[in-house]
Structure 1
Amino acid sequence: MASLCLSPLVRSPRGQWRETLPTCKLERYYLDDTDMTLHYSISGLEFFCSNSKTAVYKGSLKLPDQEDASVFEHEADMYEIHLRDLQDRVIPHCYGLFQYNAEDGKVSSFLVLGDCGSPIDDPRNFTNLYKSKVIDAVYFIHFAGFTHGDLSYHNILNKDGCPFIIDFETAKPHVCGVKEKLFIGEERKELGCTEMMRCAALVRAWANSYVKLEGIYTFLRVDLRRGNMDYLLSHLRHCNSDPTVYRPYVEQLVEQVEARRERYRNIPLEERLIVPE
């Protein structure tokens, strides 16, 4: 029989959760017939965050001689079965789901996950490499045949520059429609998957929709194309009665944008295709 001991008196600053956690041994909940004699303990518990249904506490886990992984009943299938190969790569390591039967008959469940850092903050601080890692993490989950279902900043943790996805309460089976890799900085396009579009928006993967001609005008990126010069210059009539004086500057801007487009168009096909590892 596996058990878990908790340190006493964990208090929620918001007053939304029970002010103390049980300090007796908790019995582990198993999804199958597996049963092992393992004893875990957690000390230094602190309130981390909460939503309307669950609370998260952080603490130091003392490991037994062996390790195992399991989670809340629906999430258990995700971590333990469907996404098991992604543990310690793009999702946390899970040490088990433990349950406590209170005297009032209510059952409290405690999910123990490996520490994977803190929720991401301002995406404007992300490097292109980190953005790519977040996108890849979601890709891998989709490769496994599931969509996360609640992809948001508070469900993406950052640990030493590596993203970890958590909270699979609303995860569902999914056949991803994405066929090409998303490259950071390319223009917005339809990916064939709603969640991947959301992921791209979260990390601000797309190039800016607007491009400035410094001190003169801000153009829509989509309009900055060769052969579109007359249309672009027409927007500058309010700046000068003869907008052709700006032609060299607009042409330079167009060439910069078109060069970036061509860079993405010339990416080899084998690099564009998404092939799960």
Structure 2
Amino acid sequence: MSTLQLIWDTKSPSSTQQLWSWDNGNIHYTAQYVRLIRKGVYMFRIGNRYTEPSDVIALKLVRGKEALEEMEREASFYQNQLKDLQGTVVPKCYGFYTAKVGGTPIGCLLLEHCSGPPVDIVRRQEVRYKSMQAAYALHRAGVLHGDLVDGRHFVSMGHDIRIIDFAVAVPHKCVSGLSKRAAGHGRQHTCGCPELATLESTYARL
């Protein structure tokens, strides 16, 4: 069993929460709140029993049974189909933790915090190529993201691209994503898969 100690305010012991995971080995994390990123997503610094919290992560927090079930489903993608893509195509996942606070179930998904330089005109073609290659890798892993068209789930990480947020993802057998041409350069014209075909059409106009 793995544990997660969330420290929201170092000056207030009552603000600390303890969560558990049965799928993350015997790791014991301590995470200190830094700031709000957006609604339901927070920046924390994380460490283990041997190190001070130093690694920056994005922590997604949900409350309630239905939201917890949705997060558990998202976490299962990271733990299974996306396991070999963590830290390259998708964020590294530190685990999925749950607890009850005042009788209400809560859940936390701990992910690599992805931040990098904004997409500028000079890098646009490079970013387009890397985004498409990330999408192909996702489909080869058997996952259809379901919300990639507007580009907001492609995030810079240094000079690489990560795909984030698998809340609406579904398992997917993609013949197009497995084809040899999907590993190449340029526009692929992958008409067999709606998600990839739409992305190719969109990025061809950039």
Q: Do they superpose with TM above 0.5? A: yes
Paired position in structure 1 for 2:83: 84
Q: CA deviation at 1:207?
A: 5.3
Q: Describe how 1:173-192 pairs up with structure 2 within 5 A.
A: 173-178=171-176, 179=179, 180-181=181-182, 183-184=185-186, 189=189, 191-192=191-192
Partner-residue secondary structure (3-state), 1:154: coil
**Counterpart pick for 1:56 among 25, 28, 41:** 41
Compute the TM-score of the two structures, normalised by the length of structure 2.
Answer: 0.73
Question: Which protein is richer in strand relative to its size?
Answer: 2
Q: Give, as a single letter, the amino acid of the residue that structure 1 aligns with 2:140.
A: F
1:148 aligns with 2:140: no
1:7 aligns with 2:7: yes
Contiguous gaps of at least 5 residues in structure 1: 10-21, 209-277
Q: Give, as a single letter, the amino acid of the residue that structure 2 aligns with 1:4.
A: L
Partner-residue secondary structure (3-state), 1:191: coil
Change (3 A) 1:200 1:122: farther
Q: CA deviation at 1:123?
A: 7.1
Paired position in structure 2 for 1:131: 128
Q: CA deviation at 1:65?
A: 5.8
1:41 aligns with 2:30: yes
Change (3 A) 1:102 1:25: closer
Q: CA deviation at 1:121?
A: 5.8
Partner-residue secondary structure (3-state), 1:170: coil
Note if contact 1:3-1:25 (Cα within 8 Å) is conserved in structure 2: no
Computed over aligned residues only, the root mean square deviation of the Cα atoms, in angstroms, reads 3.0
Note if contact 2:154-2:162 (Cα within 8 Å) is conserved in structure 1: yes
Q: CA deviation at 1:48?
A: 0.6
Q: Give, as a single letter, the amino acid of the residue that structure 1 aligns with 2:5.
A: C
Note if contact 2:7-2:16 (Cα within 8 Å) is conserved in structure 1: no
Contiguous gaps of at least 5 residues in structure 2: 52-59, 61-70
How many Å separate the matches in 2 of 1:101 and 1:207?
A: 48
Change (3 A) 1:194 1:125: farther
Aligned residues: percent identity?
25
Partner-residue secondary structure (3-state), 2:134: helix
Q: Describe how 1:62-81 pairs up with structure 2 within 5 A.
A: 62-64=47-49, 72-81=71-80
Q: Deviations over 1:96-118 (max 9, x none)?
A: 11223111x11111111112226
Paired position in structure 2 for 1:245: none
Task: Give every structure 1 segment of 4 or more consecutive aligned residues whose post-TM-superposition deviation is greater than 4 Å.
Answer: 120-125
